[in-house]
């Protein structure tokens, strides 16, 4: 197993990591937070560390794994390859917290439901913004449900996906998952959401009311940047609409295996409004 690690912290952890027994399995890039251009840019940079591996797993920081997580995901992908030649396993993963002994403990109770990603009801398309907020809904059905959205903190698929649908470095934060989902779908990749008890990774979510100085747009860090976060955000908002309109060329544009109209019919998201 190889880990591609983008470390967006002021401290270069290379010397610390190099003393670990698994150092030879890590491809490491350290970026000062001041120089970072957002999550989609960082994920695009991480994808350059890919060197032809069979499988690809993308996660966020603050993620822990259950035992034999890799075997679990590979077996699920093998099952899905019987249905689709280009499957993607993704959703927003279950959460965890640290207990009194500082050990990770899942914060959800498995209900043997598929975690389906759908737009938040109050999230609406506007004339100037195609960005929607998404949430997961527990659905009692089969082991997998075909979907139309990806969770950037949990994407598992064939390694060739990295080159077939490269991450767009010009997206910023909100909307980057929609960008990737649209491009994956139109390039012929099929998104599948898994059962909650078949997800072998967990994420440490920040409470909604809790402030954090580690966010890219935190004023103390953003004040030191030449290009402020709001400029990246505005460009990203416009870029998502340009993608929908078919104005972006390869490798960051829509594919030709399936159409935007097919995506709209499947997702019920009215992206067609931006093509009028």
At 229 the pLDDT is: 85
CA 81 to chain CA centroid, nearest Å: 21
The reply to whether CATH 1.10.3470 applies to domain 58-207+214-275 is no
Token look-up 């150092």 returns 23
**How do the domains of the chain map onto residue ranges?**
58-207+214-275
Percentage of the chain exceeding pLDDT 90:
78
Q: Which residues pair with 114 in a beta bridge?
A: 139, 195
Q: Which two tokens stand for residue 113?
A: 């439901």
For the stretch 124-152, pLDDT in tens is: 999 999 999 999 999 987 789 999 999 99
Alpha carbon distance 24, 3 (integer Å): 10
For the stretch 169-222, pLDDT in tens is: 999 999 999 999 999 999 999 999 999 989 999 999 877 666 665 777 778 888
pTM here is 0.93
| Confidence class for position 111, pLDDT limits 50, 70, 90 | confident
Q: Which two tokens stand for residue 73?
A: 């995901």
For the stretch 54-65, pLDDT in tens is: 999 999 989 999
Q: Which two tokens stand for residue 142?
A: 């089969």
């Amino acid at each position: 197993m190889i880990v591609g690690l983008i470390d967006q912290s002021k401290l270069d952890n290379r010397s610390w990591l190099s003393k670990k027994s698994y150092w030879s399995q890590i491809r490491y890039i350290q970026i000062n937070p001041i120089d970072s251009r957002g999550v989609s840019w960082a994920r695009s940079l991480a994808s350059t560390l890919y060197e032809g591996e069979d499988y690809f797993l993308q996660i966020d920081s603050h993620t822990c794994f259950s035992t034999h997580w890799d075997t679990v995901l590979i077996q699920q992908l093998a099952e899905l390859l019987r249905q689709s030649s280009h499957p993607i396993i993704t959703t927003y993963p279950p959460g965890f917290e640290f207990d009194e002994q500082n050990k990770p403990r899942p914060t959800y109770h498995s209900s043997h439901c598929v975690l389906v990603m759908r737009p938040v009801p109050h999230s609406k398309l506007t004339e100037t913004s195609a960005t929607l907020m998404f949430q997961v809904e527990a659905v009692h059905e089969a082991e997998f449900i075909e979907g139309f959205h990806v969770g950037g903190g949990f994407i598992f698929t064939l390694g060739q996906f990295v080159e077939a649908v490269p991450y767009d470095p010009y997206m910023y934060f909100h909307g980057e998952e929609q960008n990737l989902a649209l491009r994956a779908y139109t390039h012929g990749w099929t998104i599948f959401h898994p059962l909650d008890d078949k997800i072998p990774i967990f994420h440490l979510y920040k409470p909604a009311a809790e402030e954090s100085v580690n966010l890219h747009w935190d004023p103390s860090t953003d004040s030191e940047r030449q290009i402020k976060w709001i400029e990246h955000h505005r460009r990203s908002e416009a870029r998502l609409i340009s993608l929908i309109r078919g104005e972006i060329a390869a490798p960051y544009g829509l594919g030709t295996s399936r159409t935007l109209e097919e995506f709209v019919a499947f997702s019920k998201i009215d992206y067609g409004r931006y093509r009028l």
